[in-house]
């Protein structure tokens, strides 16, 4: 869920920065065209804030956590874990996961967050996507475990 808030926040910040840059340009050119453009820019900000808010609200459904885990897996983990690239345990393949799951969820999450070098290869911290939140990675691990239960 944090992911959606940060996406919304980033989109708002991008617009605020665009307007700040714009206002700066207007200060130097007081032509009617600039004024029109300035009004248009403010209009854009309102539309974007509205749609970002609606997106965040829509994603707060009951199954948001489960969906998030799958989404994170698909975007950041499937590259290796779908086909067993670089020695990664394959999604849904019990033989690949049985012993790993026996060590417990805490250890699996820690290995996913901090990275892990085992007998079959190297799991990079957060799958190499360090911008992911800890809770997003945890949800992805939970999703992966759920596929072999």
Q: Which residues of 74-86 are buried (b: 16+ CB within 10 A; e: fewer)?
A: eebbbebbeeeee
Question: Looking at 77, 90, 91, 142, which residue binds ligand HEC (CB under 6 A)?
Answer: 77
- Given the complex with ligand HEC, which of 14 and 93 has the nearer CB atom? 93
- Given the complex with ligand HEC, which of 52 and 127 has the nearer CB atom? 127
Q: How far is the CB of 72 from ligand HEC (least distance, A)?
A: 6
For residue 25, the tally of other CB atoms under 10 A from its CB is: 11
- Cα distance between residue 88 and residue 4, in whole Å: 28
Per CB under 6 A, does 91 bind ligand HEC? no
Q: Which stretch binds ligand HEC (CB under 6 A): 33-41, 44-52, 59-67, 75-83?
A: 75-83
- Given the complex with ligand HEC, which of 52 and 70 has the nearer CB atom? 70
Question: Looking at 122, 130, 134, 146, which residue binds ligand HEC (CB under 6 A)?
Answer: 122
Per CB under 6 A, does 120 bind ligand HEC? yes
First to last CA, the chain: 25
Which residues are CB-contacts of 140 (< 8 A; sequence separation ≥ 6)? Answer: 69, 72, 73, 76, 77, 112
Q: What is the DSSP string of 93-128?
A: -HHHHHHHHHT-HHHHHHHHHH-EE-SS-EE-GGGG
Chain residues that interact with ligand HEC, rule: CB under 6 A? 72, 76-77, 79-81, 85-89, 100, 107-108, 111-112, 116, 118-124, 126-128, 137, 140-141
């Amino acid at each position: 869920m944090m992911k959606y808030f940060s996406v919304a926040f980033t989109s708002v910040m991008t617009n605020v920065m665009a307007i700040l840059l714009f206002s700066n340009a207007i200060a130097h050119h007081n032509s009617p065209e600039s004024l029109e453009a300035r009004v248009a820019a403010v209009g854009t900000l309102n539309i974007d804030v509205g749609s970002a808010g609606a997106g965040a609200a829509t994603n707060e459904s009951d199954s948001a956590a489960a969906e998030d885990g799958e989404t994170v897996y698909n975007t950041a983990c499937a590259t290796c874990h779908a086909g067993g690239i670089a020695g990664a345990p394959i999604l849904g393949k019990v033989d690949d996961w049985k012993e790993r799951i026996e060590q417990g969820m805490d250890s699996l999450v820690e290995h996913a967050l901090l990275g892990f070098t085992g007998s079959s290869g190297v799991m990079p911290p957060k799958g190499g996507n360090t911008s992911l939140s800890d809770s997003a990675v945890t949800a992805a691990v939970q999703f992966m475990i759920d596929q072999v239960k």
